[in-house]
Chain A
């Protein structure tokens, strides 16, 4: 894998952009594709490292699962939070009709 150049097709970059909910203009597709190929080519260095019997580091601290009681706090912030909503109605976020 290290020696092969990464090649990404137009369909593939468009599929990834669609998953990320980003629209790429016709003039952007080639640029983003080239950047992604170059960066992935570089990132492939990780495959030259021997990781036989080595665990994954998810976070640098040991205890990353920390539990707390499932209790609602900061309820009083609702109005303040809604002030940043692009569109709101009667204390709720407003969105267009989902099922037509």
Chain B
């Protein structure tokens, strides 16, 4: 038995039967990281020494709950008390978090053990993890390809068995797209379901924390752990706590699934398109109703996204001024120069580009034409989803129009990189939940993901549909990353 091959629910079974200890699990992951991290480079900070001590304590004192002694990886924009939170930026290279994010408090209360902080695009801005200040992360299926982004470290680490599961954050697809590129499961929960307290803000009206896991069962279990109202996040929603694992049933009979034709049109890779059509056939065969529909908002949603996300980012990132925390330039003559020089030297090019775009759309003379208009179009997009969800339970689309691309292939063309987010961004604009699950490999052996989109706070139907597909297709049982060089 290879411990790092197992899902979390399999590890829990072994812990329950006392066939394995938490120390053995952590040791297996530490060894795996020693062996594979040099190829994948998923981490910014590895904390396996602390993890070993935690595991020893849990083994000697006894487990206090189902998840006690299970390790996890955390995207490096989520705060863990006493550990660096760098956001993969020079700006926060030496920032040690003085407090826990709410999701971390919840995980610690259950006895979960962090293995370290995972690489990302700087401040979560990007779709390839190439905008990390520290290093690129490589896709475990082909090390010459990007893992996607911005949660590329989280997705690559789960796919390469460097962590059993991980947390990421998703503002415009940053959990689902890397999950799709790396052949794993990634969920962006409904906006407001998971507390954002302690997540370094990028675009506050779009950001959500969510799970990246080996399978749908683990995804439901991790959502159980992190979901819930938090008074420290004024946008978190006070709804009744659910047990999402109850939705893991292999049955889609009577489920109404819509396939928007615009998401299979021009620009979508032929093999990706075929994978979606095959998935639609699979669902039909299993008893769901599948219909083609129209949802013609892709480009508008993308435009709204880049206006609103950059506007919010330019405001959120105003706090990095070289005074209270973060990078301070060495050379300055006055206060204004501290601000300018610290920001100029501390932020990378993509972050500056988005701050400048955001500052532009919020500046006097352009505010109405861009920002206010975008917020109105956001309403139109939400209404379009609502209209579809009056008739359907689930919307099926690609997660990304393409599979993982080569490292360096798109990094010089910002607009082209932005257009690749067209399938995931509308979901954040509407605030609804979306899950990416692996469907098959393309002719070059790269994973293709399908995206299922659900109604606000209806993660159960997503899990039911995702679980049914997973049990039928058995992607994980049949395919393994090859670390192709």
Contact = CB atoms under 8 A, between A and B. Distances in A.
A39 B306 contact: yes
Given A22-B343, A46-B370, A87 B356 contact: no
A48 B327 CA distance: 42
B303 A85 contact: no
A68 B355 CA distance: 31
Contacts of B335: 95-96, 98
A97 B335 CA distance: 7
A54 B356 contact: no
A48 B355 CA distance: 25
B479 interface: no
A69 B359 CA distance: 33
A20 B430 contact: no
Contacts of A54: 376, 379-380
A85 to B, nearest CB: 6
A64 B360 contact: no
Contact of A84 (B237, B324, B363): B324
Contacts of A71: none
B337 to A, nearest CB: 8
B455 to A, nearest CB: 13
A85 B95 CA distance: 9
A77 B99 contact: yes
Count chain A CB atoms within 10 A of each CB in B299, B303, B379 and give the residue with the most: B303
A61 B378 contact: no
A96 B332 contact: yes
Given A16-B363, A38-B415, A56 B379 contact: yes
A99 B40 CA distance: 51
A59 interface: yes
Contacts of A59: 191, 205, 235
Contact of B363 (A19, A47, A51): A19
Interface of A: 1, 13, 16-17, 19-23, 32, 35-36, 38-40, 42-49, 51, 54-61, 64, 66, 68, 74, 77, 80-81, 83-87, 93, 95-98, 100
Interface of B: 94-96, 98-99, 191-192, 205, 231, 234-235, 237, 299-300, 302-304, 306-307, 314, 321-328, 332-336, 338-341, 343-344, 347, 352-353, 355-357, 359-361, 363, 369-370, 372-380, 382, 414-415, 418, 430-431, 456
23 contacts: A16-B363, A19-B359, A20-B355, A21-B339, A22-B356, A23-B340, A32-B356, A36-B356, A40-B360, A42-B415, A48-B300, A54-B376, A58-B205, A60-B382, A61-B431, A81-B324, A83-B98, A84-B94, A84-B96, A84-B325, A84-B326, A95-B338, A96-B335
